[in-house]
Amino acid sequence: MLIINCPYCGPRDQSEFSNGGEAHVKRPDGSKEIGDREWGEYVFIRANPKGLFYERWVHTHGCRKWFNCVRDTSTDEILVTYKLDEKKPNLNNFKSVVKTPSGEPEVGSGNFTVEK
């Protein structure tokens, strides 16, 4: 179970939170003409990278506030959490901390106990 640092309450167990998928997906402005493709991508298409990922979480069983984070999907490490109105951090800042469990290859399950 992860520990997530809620920007409002501090570090808490993952069981208090719900995941909200990719962060910084902009909702098209409804007052303007929106093309099929633009709207379709907003509703249906989300990134699913292996590695660093901007992600939304909500402190459901706590302050009920939404916030963003950068999570490494290959290690589950949450590198930073920040409030919705804060600028999104540059992913290059985190390059050095990226590590994959057990020296796994770029693509794979991570099921290794011996270095490959």
Which residues, 6 or more positions from 73, have their beta carbon under 8 angstroms from its beta carbon? 49, 50, 51, 52, 53
Does 82 participate in binding other proteins (rule CB under 8 A)?
A: no
Distance, in Å, from the CA atom of 101 to the CA atom of 84, rounded to the nearest integer, reads 30
CA 92 to chain centre: 15
**Contacting residue, 5, 16, 22, 34, with other proteins by CB under 8 A:** 34
**Contacting residue, 40, 49, 105, 108, with other proteins by CB under 8 A:** 40
Does 92 participate in binding other proteins (rule CB under 8 A)?
A: no
Distance, in Å, from the CA atom of 3 to the CA atom of 71, rounded to the nearest integer, reads 12
Q: How many residues bind other proteins (CB under 8 A)?
A: 36
Does 48 participate in binding other proteins (rule CB under 8 A)?
A: no
Helix locations, 14-112, DSSP H? 36-44
Does 30 participate in binding other proteins (rule CB under 8 A)?
A: yes
Distance, in Å, from the CA atom of 61 to the CA atom of 43, rounded to the nearest integer, reads 27
Does 107 participate in binding other proteins (rule CB under 8 A)?
A: no
Applying CB under 8 A, the residues found at the interface with other proteins are 1-3, 13, 20, 27-31, 34, 36, 39-40, 42-44, 56, 58, 60, 64-66, 76, 84-85, 99, 101-103, 110-115
